[in-house]
Copies of this chain bind each other. A is one copy, B any other.
Amino acid sequence: MDNSKQPAMSFSFSVSHTDGAARAGLVTTPHGTIETPMFMPVGTQGAVKAMTVRMLEDAGAAIILGNTYHLWLRPGAELIARRGGLHRFNGWSRPILTDSGGYQVFSLANRRKLDEQGVEFRSHLDGSRHVLTPERAVEIQACLGSDIAMVLDECPPHPSTRDAIQASLALTTRWARRCQVRLDQLRDGATIDGLRPTNPGQVQFGIVQGGVYADLRRESAEALAALEFPGYAIGGLSVGEPNEVMYEVVGGVAPRLPAAKPRYLMGVGTPADIIEAVDRGIDLFDCVMPTRNARNGQLFTRQGPLNIKNARFAEDDLPPDPSCRCYTCTHFSRAYLRHLYIAGEMTGSILNTVHNVSFYLDTMRQIRQAISLGTFAAFKHEFLRQLSLKAFTS
């Protein structure tokens, strides 16, 4: 593979404005920059469902997420490496973050077996056996060539006992160190079955665990901070705990992470969740909610979610969100989108997804602007007030 064509930019992060604990900044990666706070649309299998690259670009997406578990099993990490990496394979030339595969493997429940070395599991596709170790998670992501890779962490179920969580985060910390060692080896010229990493500028983020226990979260944050990652994620949230508990954990962990490094809250969440987390110092987010809910006919608006299948929209000529400037809202009515949903037309899923992703990205733009103007508190107050009007609930 010819890596000489890889962009030369290396990873960095700078904070340009703070407003309370909220911060606006810029992440630089080998495939370009990301203004933060930023939301990352999820491209599980190498494509954001029901969107093309051009639609993502038009919606203003700056970075997308790919799922290591899915891409490893199909079409295979080495196949993607032979194509030059995930960017060349899927045509997305801006930054990509990949998760470690751990979250999906641990969600296989009784199809997986954990020990110190790693986790053995059966594929959800064909039942075949695989072993995911911290080193293998690094290798797969090196094949994919994402700009930001995640360390393999154990994701204990919620609720778990304090003892189980404590043992788990200790394992996660040992695994984090092993991930660093393997990435260093690859940077020093080690190969993966003869293949070289497809993105030499790839960096690794550590993941803080610790469940809902403030002291364990602190212990995890400090242990990872000592490993000096280029960025940090908070994992194991949005798994069923009450929203207020999640906000409290985020508020406790974020200040204990190095201020000069980006902070990523994994798998979160609703627009309100994102705003609450930004208010506590988070920079990056991902969630399947905008894309999945779009396919189920739920459209996000400033006045709360609108269920397009509702009969009240059958003759409603307004766009989904009259204040939105996305392709869908500037061209199509609720009546038309309802018809497409009821008729089972794929074009409806496309248009709904375009809107929801645009809505999330526009919200992030407004958040960044408010932080840079020092008006984030007022923005948050007004955003949550409009949501509380619940315009679209019966």
- B314 touching A347 by the CB < 8 A rule? no
Most chain-B Cβ atoms within 10 A of its Cβ — which of A47, A54, A317?
A47
- B351 touching A349 by the CB < 8 A rule? no
- A74 touching B342 by the CB < 8 A rule? yes
Q: Assembly of this chain: how many copies? A: 2
Q: Name the contact of A343 in the complex, choosing from B50, B74, B343 (C-beta under 8 A).
A: B74
Given contacts A331-B91, A342-B74, contact A347 B83 (CB under 8 A): no
- A46 touching B314 by the CB < 8 A rule? no
Q: Name the contact of A340 in the complex, choosing from B47, B54, B338, B347 (C-beta under 8 A).
A: B47
Task: Flag whether A51 is at the interface (Cβ < 8 A).
Answer: yes
- A45 touching B75 by the CB < 8 A rule? no
B-contacting residues, A330-364, CB 8 Å: 331-333, 335-336, 338-340, 342-343, 345-351, 354
Determine how close the nearest CB of chain B comes to the CB of A11; give it in whole angstroms.
Answer: 26
| B residues less than 8 Å from A229 (CB atoms) | none
28 inter-chain pairs at a CB distance below 8 angstroms, sorted by A residue, are: A45-B340, A45-B343, A45-B345, A46-B343, A46-B345, A47-B340, A49-B346, A49-B347, A51-B347, A52-B327, A52-B347, A52-B350, A52-B351, A52-B354, A53-B331, A74-B342, A74-B343, A75-B338, A75-B339, A83-B315, A83-B317, A83-B335, A83-B336, A89-B333, A90-B336, A346-B349, A346-B350, A350-B350
Task: Flag whether A182 is at the interface (Cβ < 8 A).
Answer: no
| B residues less than 8 Å from A131 (CB atoms) | none
Chain B, Cβ-Cβ closest to A348:
B47
What's the Cα separation between A333 and B82 when bound, in Å?
Answer: 13
Given contacts A83-B333, A89-B335, contact A314 B52 (CB under 8 A): no
Determine how close the nearest CB of chain B comes to the CB of A354; give it in whole angstroms.
Answer: 8
Name the 8 nearest CB pairs between A and B, nearest first.
Answer: A47-B347, A75-B339, A45-B343, A50-B346, A91-B331, A47-B345, A91-B332, A89-B336
- Interface of A toward B, CB cutoff 8 Å: 45-54, 70, 74-75, 79, 82-83, 89-91, 314-315, 317, 327, 331-333, 335-336, 338-340, 342-343, 345-351, 354
- B49 touching A339 by the CB < 8 A rule? no
Most chain-B Cβ atoms within 10 A of its Cβ — which of A49, A331, A347, A349?
A347
Chain B, Cβ-Cβ closest to A350:
B52
| B residues less than 8 Å from A315 (CB atoms) | 79, 82-83
Chain B, Cβ-Cβ closest to A70:
B343
- A336 touching B46 by the CB < 8 A rule? yes
What's the Cα separation between A338 and B327 when bound, in Å?
Answer: 28
Given contacts A327-B54, A346-B349, contact A314 B48 (CB under 8 A): no
What's the Cα separation between A321 and B151 when bound, in Å?
Answer: 40
